[in-house]
C-alpha cells in the first residue's frame, strides 16, 4: 500500500448513543457525518473514520496525521487535533454554574503501534497540549484482538487504559479555590495518575467494493481520584455506535 501516492477518500453517516461521566447525566443519541481522505503523506479524518478507509489494522489518529515509520510489526504516527475544551455553563446541572471554562487547544499526538501476532496488536499514544492552555499530557495504551469472520468482515475486541499528568487532571477533573468560591462546590486537587479503563467490541464489513459498514458497543470506567471528583456524576458509562460509508477504493 503506497500511502505517499494516495488520494483516497471516504464519506458516510454514523449514529451513536453515549453519555458524559461529568456534568449532565443523560444518555444522548447523536447522528452526524464521518469522513476521511488521504492526500500524499497526510491523512485528514474524523474520529472513527480513519480505520475504515483501508479497513486495516491502522493506528493513525483522527485529525491531521501522517505515518513517520512503518515496518512489518512496528508503526509510528504523529497527528494534530483540536481539543474543544468545555463550557460548564452549557450543562443542565446548576451545581456547575460558576466553574471556569476549560479552554480549547491544539493537541499534538505521537502514536506507536505494534503487531504482537496475527490477531493481537497494541498501541501507546502520547498527547500534549501545544498552546500552553493547561491541557497537560495524556498517555493512552490499548490492546486489540481482531477476529476475521470472512475476507470482507472482521470484529475487534479492544481494551484500553488512560493516564494523565497533574496539569491535565487538575484542569479537567479538579476544582480550584476560585472555582469552589463561585460554584459552591468543594475545592478538589489531584495529581497525575490513571483515570480511565475501557473495553469495546466492533464489527466492520465491506458490503461491496465501495461501501463499508460498522457497529460497536463499549464501556468506560473512571478510576482513582478522578472517580472521586465532585465533577463526576457517574463512574461507568456505556455507548453504542453504527455507521455506513462510501469510499473510492476497495
- In tens digits, the chain (250 residues) has pLDDT values of 344 446 789 999 999 999 999 877 688 999 999 998 888 888 898 877 766 776 544 555 778 999 899 899 999 999 999 999 999 888 777 888 889 999 999 999 999 999 999 999 999 999 999 999 999 999 999 999 999 999 999 999 999 999 999 999 999 999 999 999 999 999 999 999 999 999 999 999 999 989 999 999 999 999 999 999 999 999 999 999 999 999 986 5
Cβ burial of 57 (10 Å; 0-12, 13-18, 19+) is middle
Neighbours of 27 (CB within 10 A): 12
For the chain, the 3-state helix, strand and coil shares in percent, each to the nearest 5, are 15, 55, 35
pLDDT at 3 (0 to 100): 42
Rounded-to-integer distance, Cα 55 and Cα 202, Å:
12
The answer, as to whether pTM is greater than 0.95, is no
For residues 214 and 50, give the distance between their C-alpha atoms in angstroms, rounded to a whole number: 13
Amino acid at each position: 500500500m503506497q500511502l505517499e501516492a494516495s488520494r483516497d477518500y471516504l464519506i458516510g453517516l454514523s449514529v451513536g448513543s453515549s453519555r458524559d461521566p461529568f456534568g449532565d447525566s443523560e444518555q444522548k443519541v447523536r447522528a452526524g457525518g464521518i469522513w476521511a481522505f488521504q492526500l500524499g503523506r497526510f491523512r485528514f479524518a474524523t474520529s472513527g473514520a480513519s480505520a475504515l478507509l483501508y479497513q486495516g489494522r491502522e493506528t493513525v489518529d483522527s485529525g491531521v496525521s501522517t505515518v513517520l515509520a512503518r515496518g512489518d510489526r512496528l508503526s509510528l504516527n504523529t497527528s494534530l487535533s483540536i481539543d474543544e475544551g468545555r463550557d460548564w455553563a452549557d450543562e443542565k446541572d446548576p451545581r456547575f454554574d460558576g466553574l471556569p471554562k476549560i479552554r480549547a487547544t491544539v493537541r499534538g499526538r505521537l502514536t506507536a503501534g505494534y503487531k504482537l501476532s496475527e490477531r493481537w496488536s497494541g498501541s501507546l499514544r502520547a498527547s500534549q497540549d501545544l498552546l500552553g492552555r493547561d491541557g497537560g499530557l495524556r498517555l493512552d495504551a490499548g490492546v486489540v484482538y481482531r477476529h476475521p469472520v470472512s475476507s470482507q468482515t472482521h470484529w475487534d475486541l479492544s481494551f484500553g487504559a488512560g493516564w494523565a499528568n497533574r496539569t491535565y487532571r487538575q484542569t479537567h477533573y479538579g476544582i480550584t479555590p476560585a472555582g469552589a468560591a463561585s460554584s459552591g462546590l468543594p475545592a478538589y486537587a489531584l495529581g497525575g495518575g490513571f483515570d480511565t479503563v475501557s473495553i469495546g467490541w466492533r464489527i466492520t464489513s465491506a458490503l461491496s467494493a465501495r461501501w463499508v459498514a460498522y457497529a460497536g458497543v463499549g464501556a468506560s470506567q473512571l478510576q482513582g481520584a478522578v472517580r472521586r471528583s465532585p465533577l463526576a456524576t457517574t463512574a461507568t458509562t456505556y455507548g453504542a455506535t453504527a455507521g455506513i460509508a462510501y469510499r473510492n477504493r476497495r
